């Protein structure tokens, strides 16, 4: 059957043929307000007013662009992950000895540490979600992004954090159970507020993919340690996923780092395909595939038949528009391993995983989104 005569399933739930990861460039007014707040020049309520205004405007732009999984752009966050951790009970914001090391830069030096047992009651992100929900034309289009449980586990296992973590959790198994339960609590609150699409952003697999097993002198981790981490990451993510409401869609976005247009890791999915694609019980994978740092499509053959793959073929790291036919050709190349009907398209990552944002303009950001939409319509008619 040729593509022109092939009929594709109409995507009415997440992920959609044309999709986005979820973070957007912060407008100048919001950046200025946050800087003033950090200097105690404005109050928290004044900052919130600016955030509210910016989010309402963003929602209008997303709806105009035809996006069907709409987020608040992560406009109330400084980091894609740490702000969520800080909102959990028993967790505090800490200065780190060093920021996260990226290819061209080192980030701000912040992390999360434990002050007690972890739990998920009264997480501030739930109120953030309610604001998003209440300002959508269709509340069912809401998508909430949070860092994956594995990401929190990795943060608490950092060398500078592990001693404090061990004061409250003597073993990793105890810690994994606590993380999974805290995430369940937050997610149940999201669900009761109306959320039906949750996305777990996860750099843990991308970082493991970048490690050259056996080259411990170069990367500081052995093949055995990589295997142990893989088991722990799939364990904590799946413990969280077990028993969630059946009509809650949980997807994951797997990335190699996204900070001010630079990256933290390079390496194909080969080393993590098992257990990431074979055992992690998510509905769909949003996968970074914009450069050769992501390797080939061959590992996708391990994705199970009941799961979908969203190909992140359009980069969010710069404003240069990709050649449309090149992206279409790559989609068909990926379809050798996952049927075309189970594929979708998105940008490779968000546009601002941290408040700094990537190095491109808002106009270029929306042009990228339009390109994804046009390609999806051409390939799937959707």
List the CATH number of the domain containing 104.
3.20.20.210
Among left, alpha and beta (phi > 0; psi -120 to 50; other), residue 221 is beta
Tell me what pLDDT residue 354 has: 82
Structural domain span for residue 324: 18-380
In a domain, 57, yes or no: yes
d(CA 83, CA 92) in angstroms, rounded, equals 10
Q: Label residues 347-379 b or e (16+ Cβ within 10 Å = b).
A: bbbbbbbbbbbbebebebbbebbebbbebbeeb
Is the link from the previous residue into 275 a cis peptide, with omega within 30 of 0? yes
- Number of independent structural domains in the chain: 1
d(CA 38, CA 15) in angstroms, rounded, equals 37
The residue ranking higher by pLDDT, 217 or 351, is 351
Task: State yes or no: pLDDT of 218 exceeds 50.
Answer: no
Our measurement of the distance from residue 259's CA atom to the centroid of its chain's CA atoms, rounded to an integer in Å, reads 13
Six token digits for residue 197: 């699409």
d(CA 224, CA 220) in angstroms, rounded, equals 12
Q: In the structure, what pLDDT confidence band is assigned to residue 188 with cuts at 50, 70 and 90?
A: very high
Task: State yes or no: pLDDT of 215 exceeds 90.
Answer: no
In a domain, 3, yes or no: no
Six token digits for residue 294: 């992501």
In a domain, 287, yes or no: yes
In a domain, 10, yes or no: no
Q: Label residues 180-209 b or e (16+ Cβ within 10 Å = b).
A: bebbbbbbbbbeebebbbbbbbbbbbbbbb
Tell me what pLDDT residue 364 has: 97
Convert 273-305 into a string of H (helix), E (strand) and C (coil): HHHHHHHCCCCEEEEECCCHHHCCCHHHHHCCC
In a domain, 273, yes or no: yes
24, 350 contact by CB (below 8 A): yes
In a domain, 1, yes or no: no
In a domain, 13, yes or no: no
Helix (H) or strand (E) holding 256: none
Lowest mean pLDDT of 59-68, 188-197, 203-212, name the range.
203-212
pTM for this one?
0.94
Q: What is the pLDDT of residues 261-276, one digit of tens each?
A: 676 677 789 999 999 9
In a domain, 59, yes or no: yes
């Amino acid at each position: 059957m040729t593509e022109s005569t092939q009929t594709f399933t109409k995507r009415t739930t997440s992920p959609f043929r044309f999709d986005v990861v979820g973070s957007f460039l912060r407008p100048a007014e919001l950046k200025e307000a946050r800087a003033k707040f950090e200097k105690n020049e404005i109050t928290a309520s004044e900052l919130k007013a600016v955030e509210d205004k910016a989010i309402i405007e963003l929602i209008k732009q997303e709806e105009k662009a035809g996006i069907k999984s709409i987020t608040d752009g992560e406009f109330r966050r400084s980091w894609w992950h740490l702000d969520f951790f800080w909102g959990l009970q028993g967790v505090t914001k800490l200065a780190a000895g060093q920021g996260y090391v990226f290819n061209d830069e080192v980030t701000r030096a912040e992390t999360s540490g434990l002050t007690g047992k972890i739990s998920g009651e009264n997480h501030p992100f739930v109120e953030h979600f309610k604001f998003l929900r209440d300002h959508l034309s269709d509340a069912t289009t809401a998508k909430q992004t949070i860092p994956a449980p594995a990401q929190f586990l990795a943060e608490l296992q950092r060398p500078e954090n592990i001693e404090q973590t061990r004061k409250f959790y003597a073993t990793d198994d105890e810690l994994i159970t606590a993380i999974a339960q805290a995430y369940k609590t937050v997610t149940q609150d999201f669900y009761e507020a109306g959320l039906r699409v949750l996305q777990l952003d996860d750099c843990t697999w991308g970082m493991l993919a970048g490690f050259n097993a056996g080259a411990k002198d170069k990367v500081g981790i052995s093949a055995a340690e990589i295997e142990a981490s893989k088991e722990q990451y799939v364990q904590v993510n799946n413990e969280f996923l077990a028993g969630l409401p059946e009509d809650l869609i949980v997807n994951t976005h797997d990335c190699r780092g996204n900070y001010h247009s630079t990256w933290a890791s390079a390496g194909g999915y080969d080393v993590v395909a098992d257990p990431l694609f074979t055992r992690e019980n998510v509905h769909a994978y949003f996968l970074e595939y914009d450069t050769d740092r992501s390797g080939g499509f061959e590992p996708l053959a391990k994705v199970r038949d009941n799961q979908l793959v969203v190909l992140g073929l359009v980069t969010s790291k710069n404003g240069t528009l990709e050649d449309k036919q090149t992206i279409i050709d790559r989609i068909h190349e990926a379809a050798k391993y996952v049927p075309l009907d189970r594929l979708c398209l998105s940008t490779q990552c968000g546009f601002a995983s941290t408040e700094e944002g990537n190095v491109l303009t808002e106009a270029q950001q929306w042009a990228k989104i339009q390109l994804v939409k046009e390609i999806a319509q051409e390939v799937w008619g959707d």
